[in-house]
């Protein structure tokens, strides 16, 4: 109990002391140099490996002769804002079909995924690869050059092979998935 | 639960204005993605958590995603990548990693937080294990399929998950070296 009473009286005593100090400082202002003026704050930005990728939404084959190949309009692929962990890592673009074959009217004969091929297009800052579509593996379409900030093409041509056994007109559709992977280390 | 280390991966996935209609460049699919691998050092019996973030840009259409943990490997020449159900390879970590949610629809400007829980078995042998977290864009059943013969494209992003159980011994067996001009290829 005695200790509490003493503490109670300390407070006004400290306040009085502070007032005295303030009064003194007001009458004799002086600049005090801090012992350490080199205090710094480090700002850190954590940058993830990243890229901006634009794929075509689809291609259409206007098939006027099922006994010959049909070429689609050139498709464009752009990869930009490439940021990777090292100068030797690269981005690889590949495709895989979701199914083994197109879906056709009434389940009629249609093209298989392997009937779709693509050319080794001319790429900017990438090496293109010709290939054949598969539903079991992602096959490479292009690999961006090491340390490239972007890579692109506007001339990726998909070709649908001949299929003389097709007997139904209408919609023959296949879903294909694009994949972008970082390769190397 | 022992949350010993959380490795945060994030990527932003922004779909284009329209996803499936064939033809014009305006219908292209665009996304921003992070390709940073998820690396975890762990001990037998530990349970670790990490998060993966996915966000769409403002103005992007609602997009449905499926999240899957798979095994993956590449062909010898590196031209092919294979993705298969977890447990397909001997050094798979696929069965240890669970994702929540497994499916989600994300609106433009919204984000999807994927929580990954890595449960290390008690009897696991030391060494390196790997698998992949794949986030696949799913077709919208309300979309009208384009007329004619065509291919419609969807996008997929996969990030490698690497789990290291100490002590990890790094090494490789070089089986063959082929020299072609100024280029040498080692097969391991």
Q: Which of A48, A57, A104, A162 to mutate to test the interface with B (most CBs of B within 10 A)?
A: A57
Contact B36 A85 (CB under 8 A): yes
Q: Is residue B178 part of a domain?
A: yes
Asked if B10 lies within 8 A of A48 by C-beta distance, the reply is yes
- The reply to whether residue A173 touches residue B34, judged by beta carbons under 8 angstroms, is no
pLDDT in tens, A82-115: 999 999 999 999 999 999 999 999 889 999 999 9
- Taking an 8 Å cut-off on Cβ atoms, the answer to whether A180 and B29 are in contact is no
Q: Which of residues 91-150 of B touch A (CB under 8 A)?
A: 136, 139, 145-150
Tell me the CATH number at B54.
2.60.40.2310
Lowest mean pLDDT among A1-5, A77-81, A124-128, A135-139: A1-5
Q: What is the pLDDT of residue A27?
A: 55
A140 touches chain B (CB under 8 A): yes
pLDDT greater at residue A26 or residue B14 = A26
pLDDT of residue A16: 46
A57 touches chain B (CB under 8 A): yes
Q: Which domain holds residue B37?
A: 9-187
Whether residue A166 lies within 8 A of chain B, CB to CB, comes out as: no
Query: Confidence class of residue B29 from pLDDT cuts 50, 70 and 90?
Result: low
What value does the mean pLDDT take over residues B114-123?
95
A29 pLDDT band, cuts 50/70/90, is confident
pLDDT at A7 over 50: no
What is the structure's pLDDT at A48? Answer: 81
Q: What is the pLDDT of residue A112?
A: 97
pLDDT reported for residue A116: 98
User: How much is the average pLDDT of B21-48?
Assistant: 72
Higher local confidence (pLDDT), A92 or A39: A92
Interchain CB contact of B27 with A (< 8 Å): yes
Mean pLDDT of A48-52: 82
Top pLDDT among B138 and B27 is at: B138
Q: Is B137 exposed, middle or buried (0-12, 13-18, 19+ CB in 10 A)?
A: buried
A106 vs chain B: nearest CA distance in angstroms? 14
Q: Residues B126-134: what's their mean pLDDT?
A: 94
Per-residue pLDDT at A183 exceeds 50: yes
Residue B170 maps to a domain: yes
A90 Cα to chain B: minimum distance (Å): 11
Pick B78 or B48 by higher pLDDT.
B48
- Residue among B28, B32, B150 whose CB faces A173 most closely: B150
Inter-chain residue contact A54 with B28, CB threshold 8 Å: yes
Contact residues on chain B for A168, CB-CB shorter than 8 A: none
Instruction: Please judge whether A137 and B80 are an interchain contact, meaning their C-beta atoms are less than 8 angstroms apart.
Output: yes
Is residue B67 classed as helix, strand or coil in its secondary structure? Answer: strand
Question: Is residue B3 a part of any domain in this protein?
Answer: no
Please tell me the least confidently modeled range out of A118-132, A135-149, B108-122, B170-184: B170-184
pLDDT, tens digit, 9 for 90 and up, residues B136-167: 888 877 777 778 899 999 988 888 899 999 88
**Mutation choice for A interface testing from B150, B162, B172 by most A CBs within 10 A:** B150
Identify whether B132 is part of a domain. yes
Domain assignments of chain A as residue spans, ordered by start: 50-183
pLDDT at A39: 77
Task: Report domain A50-183's class.
Answer: mainly beta
Residues 70 to 99 of A: which have CB under 8 A from any B CB?
A: 70, 72-73, 76, 81, 84-85, 91-92, 94, 98
Q: Choose among A120, A170, A85, A53: nearest CA to B15.
A: A53
Q: Which among A54, A72, A84 is the nearest to B30, CB-wise? A: A54
Confidence of residue B128 (pLDDT cuts 50, 70, 90): very high
Which of A30-39, A98-107, B170-179: highest mean pLDDT?
A: A98-107
Please give the average per-residue pLDDT across A56-71, as a whole number.
Answer: 94
Contact residues on chain A for B132, CB-CB shorter than 8 A:
none
Higher pLDDT, A157 or B187: A157
Nearest by CB to A60, from B10, B22, B33: name it.
B22
In a domain, B147, yes or no: yes
Q: Which one has a higher pLDDT value, A34 or B18?
A: A34
Q: How high is the pLDDT of residue A86?
A: 92
Residue B172, in any domain of the structure? yes
Tell me what ipTM this predicted complex has: 0.75
Asked if A68 is an interface residue toward chain B (Cβ–Cβ < 8 A), one would say no
CA A145 – CA A124 distance, rounded (Å): 9
How many domains does one find in chain B? 1
CB distance B145 to A173 below 8 Å? yes
Give A1 to chain B, closest Cα distance, Å. Answer: 47
Least confident residue range of A100-104, A146-150, A151-155, B177-181: B177-181
């Amino acid at each position: 109990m005695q200790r509490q009473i003493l503490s109670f009286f300390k407070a006004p005593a400290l306040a009085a002391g502070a007032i005295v100090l303030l009064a003194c400082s007001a009458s004799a202002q002086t600049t005090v140099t801090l012992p350490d003026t080199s205090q710094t704050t480090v700002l850190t930005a954590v940058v993830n490996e990243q890229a901006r990728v634009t794929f075509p939404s689809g291609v259409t084959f206007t098939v006027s002769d099922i006994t010959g190949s049909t070429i689609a309009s050139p498709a464009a692929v752009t990869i930009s804002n490439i940021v990777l962990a090292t100068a030797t890592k690269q981005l690889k673009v590949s495709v895989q079909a979701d199914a083994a074959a197109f879906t056709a009217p009434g389940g009629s004969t249609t093209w298989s995924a392997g009937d779709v091929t693509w050319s080794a297009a001319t790429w900017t800052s990438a090496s293109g690869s010709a290939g054949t579509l598969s539903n079991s593996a992602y096959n490479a379409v292009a690999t961006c050059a090491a340390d490239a900030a972007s890579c692109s093409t506007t001339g990726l041509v998909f070709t649908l092979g001949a299929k003389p056994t097709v007997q139904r007109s209408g919609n023959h559709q296949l879903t294909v998935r694009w994949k972008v992977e970082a390769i190397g280390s | 639960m022992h949350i010993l280390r959380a490795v945060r991966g994030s990527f932003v996935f922004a779909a284009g204005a329209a996803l499936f209609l064939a033809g014009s460049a305006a219908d292209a699919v665009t996304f921003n993605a992070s390709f940073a691998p998820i690396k975890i050092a762990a001990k037998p019996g530990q349970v670790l958590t990490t998060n993966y973030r996915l966000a769409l840009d403002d103005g992007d259409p609602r997009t449905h995603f499926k999240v899957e943990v798979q095994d993956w490997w590449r062909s010898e020449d590196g031209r092919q990548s294979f993705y298969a159900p977890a447990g397909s390879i001997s050094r798979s970590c696929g069965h240890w990693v669970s994702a929540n949610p497994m499916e989600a629809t994300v609106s433009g400007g919204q984000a999807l937080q994927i929580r990954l829980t890595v449960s290390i078995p008690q009897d696991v042998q030391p060494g390196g294990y790997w698998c992949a977290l794949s986030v696949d864009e799913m077709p919208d059943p309300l979309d009208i399929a384009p007329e004619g013969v065509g291919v419609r494209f969807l996008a997929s992003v996969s990030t490698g998950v690497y789990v290291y159980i100490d002590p990890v011994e790094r090494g490789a067996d070089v089986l063959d070296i082929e020299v072609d001009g100024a280029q040498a290829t080692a097969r391991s």
